[in-house]
């Protein structure tokens, strides 16, 4: 067995959340650290979000620490050079020479959708190969705003995403009454899995259907249909080779009065939190076994791992 915990690279390609829309106001500048890189994210005065590599090409200041937005540009705190959303230097406030075309910063593809700010990551810098789907229920009057939770977990995206198809662990680790039977299908970067589950709520046990739709490893929708419909947006973004930033954002369909929506919605949130906190010590300490020894009672783990391969440009690379 390999001495490494993982036999795949740390940063699979895809769309990954780096923030929430409502946490980035116009003129706000925020440093980011993902994929082992340093970046700066800002919102211009007109409301556009831009993500650039962090360092100023002049003398290397990090634009996320003291940088300011002026109109549609970000201004470096060190000597006040300005850069636009495309990373081009637009102004040097002293000196008389023409601005060098080399005075530019690499930019990231950004989308702002479903209340999330997401960037495209590709190990070789290729343009986006698929789009993030619109979650129509988000922002709809029949649904609550996001209830959010966040964790920093010492594992990799692929390991966490395997949770959905690992049916046996739901009973033995999470204590669910039965082992859900999952059906799984894939279509390009999308994986869908459906299972049934029984959840304990203040109103007693509720039988529900769980539909998972994963777009690569960065954006997963989990729809729980039962007494109250709930949707979980699950985002996992690699910080570096060791850690992932995990954000859970829940919306609940309003029905039967606010207290019922709140009661059952919160029971669902607590149940998912409880399960995640049981998963974390497993993920933080396990290693990726390849090939695994499976029993016929296991979920579609082999099929899941075949789907995973498309997100690596070199799936056999050692860390």
Q: Which is nearer to ligand FES, 60 or 188 (CB)?
A: 60
Side-chain half-sphere exposure of 215, counting CA atoms within 13 A: 19
Q: Rule CB under 5 A: is residue 279 a binding residue for Fe ion?
A: yes
CB of 289 to Fe ion, least distance (A): 17
| Size, binding site for ligand FES by CB under 6 A | 9
Residue 76 contact, options ligand FES, Fe ion, none, Cβ 5-8 Å cut-off depending on partner type:
ligand FES
SS3 sequence of 218-230: CEEEEEEECCCCE
Query: Which residue, among 112, 124, 51, has the nearest Cα to 86 in the 3D structure?
Result: 51
Helix, strand, or coil here: 32? strand
CB of 96 to ligand FES, least distance (A): 16
Q: Which is nearer to ligand FES, 47 or 60 (CB)?
A: 60
| Size, binding site for Fe ion by CB under 5 A | 2
Site string for ligand FES, 38-67 (x = CB under 6 A): ------------------x-xxxx------
Q: Rule CB under 6 A: is residue 76 a binding residue for ligand FES?
A: yes
Give the burial class of 34: count Cβ atoms within 10 A of its Cβ; 0-12 exposed, 13-18 middle, 19 or more buried. Answer: buried
Return the range that interacts with Fe ion (CB under 5 A); candidates 19-27, 144-152, 202-210, 274-282.
Answer: 274-282
Q: Which is nearer to Fe ion, 89 or 236 (CB)?
A: 236
Cβ atoms within 10 Å, residue 261? 19
Binding-site member from 8, 35, 42, 81 for ligand FES (CB under 6 A)? 81
Give the burial class of 16: count Cβ atoms within 10 A of its Cβ; 0-12 exposed, 13-18 middle, 19 or more buried. Answer: buried
Four-CA torsion 187, 189, 195, 200, nearest 10 degrees: -160
Q: How far apart are CA 151 and CA 275, in angstroms?
A: 13
CB of 163 to Fe ion, least distance (A): 4
Q: How far apart are CA 54 and CA 39, in angstroms?
A: 4
CB of 82 to Fe ion, least distance (A): 47
Angle among Cα 112, 114, 305 to the nearest 5 degrees reads 95
Binders of Fe ion among residues 162 to 201 (CB under 5 A) are: 163
Cβ atoms within 10 Å, residue 24? 19
Q: Which is nearer to ligand FES, 89 or 252 (CB)?
A: 89
Residue 163 contact, options Fe ion, ligand FES, none, Cβ 5-8 Å cut-off depending on partner type:
Fe ion
Q: Which residues bind ligand FES (CB under 6 A)?
A: 56, 58-61, 76, 78-79, 81
Residues forming the site for Fe ion (CB under 5 A)? 163, 279
């Amino acid at each position: 067995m390999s001495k490494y915990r993982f036999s795949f690279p740390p940063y699979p390609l895809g769309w990954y959340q780096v923030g929430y829309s409502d946490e980035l106001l116009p003129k706000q500048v925020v440093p980011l650290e993902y994929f082992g890189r340093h970046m700066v994210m800002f919102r211009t005065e007109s409301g556009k979000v831009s993500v650039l590599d962090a360092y100023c090409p002049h003398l290397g200041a990090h634009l996320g620490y003291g940088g300011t937005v002026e109109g549609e540009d970000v201004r470096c705190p060190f000597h006040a050079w300005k850069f636009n959303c495309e990373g081009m230097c637009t102004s040097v406030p002293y000196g008389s020479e023409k601005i060098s075309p080399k005075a530019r910063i690499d930019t990231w593809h950004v989308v702002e959708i479903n209340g999330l700010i997401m960037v495209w990551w590709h190990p070789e810098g290729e343009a986006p190969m698929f789009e993030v789907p619109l979650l129509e229920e988000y922002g709809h009057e029949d649904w609550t705003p996001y209830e959010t939770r966040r964790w920093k977990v010492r594992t990799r995206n692929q390991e966490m995403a395997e949770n959905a198809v690992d049916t046996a662990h739901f009973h033995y680790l999470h204590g669910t009454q039965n082992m859900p039977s999952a059906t799984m299908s894939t279509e390009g970067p999308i994986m869908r899995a459906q299972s049934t589950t029984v959840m304990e709520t203040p109103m007693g046990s509720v039988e529900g259907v769980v539909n998972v739709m994963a777009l690569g490893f960065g954006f997963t929708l989990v729809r729980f249909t039962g007494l109250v419909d709930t949707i979980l947006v699950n985002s996992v973004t690699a910080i570096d080779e060791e850690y992932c930033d995990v954000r859970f954002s829940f919306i609940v369909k309003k029905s039967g009065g606010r207290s019922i929506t709140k009661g059952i919605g919160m029971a669902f949130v607590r149940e998912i939190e409880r399960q995640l906190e049981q998963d974390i010590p497993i993920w933080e300490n396990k290693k990726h076994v390849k090939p695994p020894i499976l029993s016929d009672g296991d979920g579609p783990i082999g099929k899941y791992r075949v789907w995973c391969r498309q997100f690596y440009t070199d799936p056999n690379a050692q860390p």
